[in-house]
Amino acid sequence: MLTGPGLSLRVEPERQRSTPWAIMLFIGYWLMFAAEFSVIRFYRGSDGRWVATTTDQPQLWLSLTVLAITVFSFAGTIGYGISLWRQRRQIQWYWGPGDLTGNDVLHIVAWLHVFQTGTLVLYGLVLGDTFFMEGTIGGTFESASFQMFLLLLLPFWFRGRLPSIGLCRPVRIWQMLIVLLILFFLIAKVMDAAITHPLADWLGLSLSSEREQQIEKEIVQAKQTDMLAAVSSFLVIGILVPIAEEMLFRGVVQTYLVRRLGAIAGIVLSSLWFALLHIDLALFVPLFVIGLLLGGVRHRYQSIWGAVLLHAVNNLTGVLYYFQ
């Protein structure tokens, strides 16, 4: 069906052989997501606060569960790949507008789990360690391999219809820039004092974050290695990671959920997923609040670029802090 300018993809529903495999991988993604949280443990620190940490020796039942999910997912990945390859002959290309659909979200999550499974097999069974040393250019990109994968996957999947996920010019740009300045001030100066620390005090929770400590370690090592490694930290953490994460959460997930459930539910649920994905219980609340702010900017100005800019400035501030 020819529908107008712009590139889109049309496949007859009965011929979507890859969809059952995508559903299988979608389920596998959330099972593995739950398993990742199952390895988090709490212990009391010297100050009496609860410290969240990831155990190196999960219980036997959990190890067997993860192994079963991995086998299940590996089989699903092979079936998914074969079905997509066979389906390529039945795909017809048209110059016409395409919109974001639930089927898109299903397949994107399936691809996330393909990456998740491949990473688990590669590092858990094949290599046992990383390709590159921490603090090197390769190590910086390898630590952000998930985001690098998103930067390849999402523009390819939504080629010709990037505006459907918010990759377009924002409305009321100057107003947006003023709002971004205000929000950055709130994040930098108000959120810790008004939300993060009071809530942590109330729960007796330590704000010591393994994820933040690992990021700090990588940035400091990059600074000590050479100038190119330091620049790569700025590029990856400050620019590429925000673009990749905003395309996924505010571009794909929030856009679809807002359309299906309304603005409030869509922004809240996408922000919840964004915060949980970091597997950082110590900083879950600030991550969730930042996600809400990013989601509000994306929805208000009908583009992800405002959220990308705020995300990037926030990340770059952190990188500069760790460099010092």
Percent of the chain with pLDDT over 70: 91
pLDDT digits (tens, 9 = 90+) for 291-305: 999 999 999 999 999
Give the span between the Cα atoms of 317 and 185, in whole angstroms.
12
pLDDT digits (tens, 9 = 90+) for 219-254: 888 777 778 888 888 899 999 999 999 999 999 999
For residue 95, what pLDDT band results from cuts at 50, 70 and 90?
very low
Give the span between the Cα atoms of 298 and 285, in whole angstroms.
20
Q: Is 120's pLDDT higher than 50?
A: yes
Q: What is the mean pLDDT of the chain?
A: 85
- Domain ranges for the chain: 1-129, 134-324
The residue-averaged pLDDT of 285-296 equals 94
Q: What DSSP string runs through 141-178? A: HHHTHHHHHHHHHHHHHTTT-GGGGT-SPPSSHHHHHH
Return the residue matching tokens 């800019």.
309
Q: Is 7 helix (H, G, I), strand (E, B) or coil?
A: strand
Q: Is 57 helix (H, G, I), strand (E, B) or coil?
A: coil
Q: Is 57's pLDDT higher than 50?
A: yes
Q: Is 55 helix (H, G, I), strand (E, B) or coil?
A: coil
| Contact call for residues 168 and 259 (beta carbons, < 8 A) | no
User: What is the per-residue pLDDT for 14?
Assistant: 38
Return the residue matching tokens 């620019």.
239
Q: What DSSP string runs through 63-125? A: HHHHHHHHHHHHHHHHHHHHHHHHHGGG-EEEES-----HHHHHHHHHHHHHHHHHHHHIIII
Query: 102-121 and 60-87 are packed helices; what angle lies between their axes, rounded to 10 degrees?
Result: 120
